[in-house]
Amino acid sequence: MTNETALPLYLRGRFAPVPKEHGAADLTVRGSLPSDLDGRYLRNGPNPLPGQDKGHWFTGPGMLHGIRLRGGRAEWYRNRWIRTRQLDGHPFIRADFTVDLAATPANTHVIRHADTVLALCEVGLPYWVTPELETVGPYDFGGRLTTAMTAHPKEDPVTGELHLFGAGFAPPYLTYHRVTADGLLLDSRPVEVPGPTMMHDFAVTEHHIVWMDLPVVFDPALAGSGGGMPYRWDEGYGARLGVMSRTPGSTDVQWYDVDPCYVFHVGNAYEDARGRVVLDAVRYDRAGFQHTWSDIGGSTGASGLVGVREPGHSQASSVLHRWTLDPATGRASESPLDDRDAEFPTHNETLTGRANRYLYTVSGDGIAKHDLTRHTSHAYETPGSRYAGEAVFVPAADGSGEDEGWLLSLVSNDDGEAGELLVLDATEMTVQAVVELPYPVPAGFHGSWLPEPVQRP
């Protein structure tokens, strides 16, 4: 019998992978689901095959979890592995350090753009999946995408364009791409950076792209050791943020030195009245990064994971932080926005690239709402051994305020009990409804609400 405590943290408790695919219909709902929630909530995350340990939380094969909501009912739940070349046993990094972009785990995010649902992971091509979670195959935008694709593309709410990038282990280390609202990739530009950093996220504003060139870098020696994630903190690399114009063809970047840190996830960015770029994101200092990286399988000697209350660890590993980049002075100012531990920041995506008042984060075992105008925050805490995942904001159909809508979050359990879909009123941060799922759902990464298309006469 397996000793549960001997397993890595990312394979036990609420992180424990499920051994098979399931489906269920007519789910039990506590409370009242809003009648205008008509669509699918999909969430992605790593789920190794039974008996498998890929060496790091980030590298397990992707599994989608989906719940169909309509007319105040939860019609179905299902989970499906994303059937990539990696799931079939093909290595992503070959012995000569070349890569198979179709051997990605596709385990990080799931989005819909131009009526195509894509499962994403930053080290390879996206995978096309159906709204019922079945895998179609790797997706390269008709042969135009020849790099990896970030797991965090940004869709401009005004133009409908999708902005994305690919990070590589060899030059060009960074390539920017732009996709039209109807799904045509028509703009690809190499962007000069000095080395292969782990650039997981980026930001857009109305007129700019914001890059994060930070000191977590690819290490070929770690790649050659087998398993895990071949990245480490490199104090000598430096830390800077870059601002690049969205004007077609532009590759000039104005760089701003910042205090050494790492950022997995951006909240939002925008241009203020003085023409400065404001970036809000979750910031890790070196100690915070090392604590987190160790527990999820990275090569360090530290321990401790955001949201896991380890003895002696009282300081937050990661906090919401703001950088203000001033093109007139060429300098960056920065300060924390909150002292809560935080990850997976989300916002009302109708304001992506524009000034927003609210951000939502996973904090401890609950979900926090941050008022960036009043500089306050408060949280809904999940009871018992339940832990909330990323909270996806869904605007109310008849709402006009930025926070009028709902937050959807998959809840996982440390004790192995079945999962739940939590629906919070985003204005009041109170429970609107809970959808009871018949099976456990492991902690995962990112998801999206896919509303049903509007039926036109």
pLDDT over 90 for what percent of the chain?
Answer: 84
Residue 367 has pLDDT above 50, yes or no: yes
Q: Is 101 helix (H, G, I), strand (E, B) or coil?
A: helix
Q: Which residues participate in the annotated binding site for Fe cation? A: 152, 200, 265, 446
Binned at pLDDT 50, 70 and 90, residue 223 comes out as confident
3 or 325, which is more confident? 325
Binned at pLDDT 50, 70 and 90, residue 4 comes out as low
| pLDDT tens per residue, range 169-202 | 899 999 999 999 999 999 999 999 999 999 999 9
Q: Are 79 and 410 in contact (CB under 8 A)?
A: no
Domains along the sequence of the chain with CATH: 4-451 (2.130.10.10)
| pLDDT tens per residue, range 71-87 | 999 999 999 999 999 99
Q: Are 179 and 231 in contact (CB under 8 A)?
A: no
- Report d(CA 365, CA 232) in Å as an integer: 28
Residue 2 has pLDDT above 80, yes or no: no
Q: Which residues participate in the annotated binding site? A: 152, 200, 265, 446
Q: Are 229 and 58 in contact (CB under 8 A)?
A: yes
Binned at pLDDT 50, 70 and 90, residue 311 comes out as very low
Least confident range from 86-90, 136-140, 320-324, 350-354: namely 86-90
Mean pLDDT of 207-223: 93
Binned at pLDDT 50, 70 and 90, residue 421 comes out as very high
Q: Is 14 helix (H, G, I), strand (E, B) or coil?
A: helix
Average pLDDT of every residue of the chain: 92
Tokens of 226: 């087998």
Tokens of 273: 């009245």
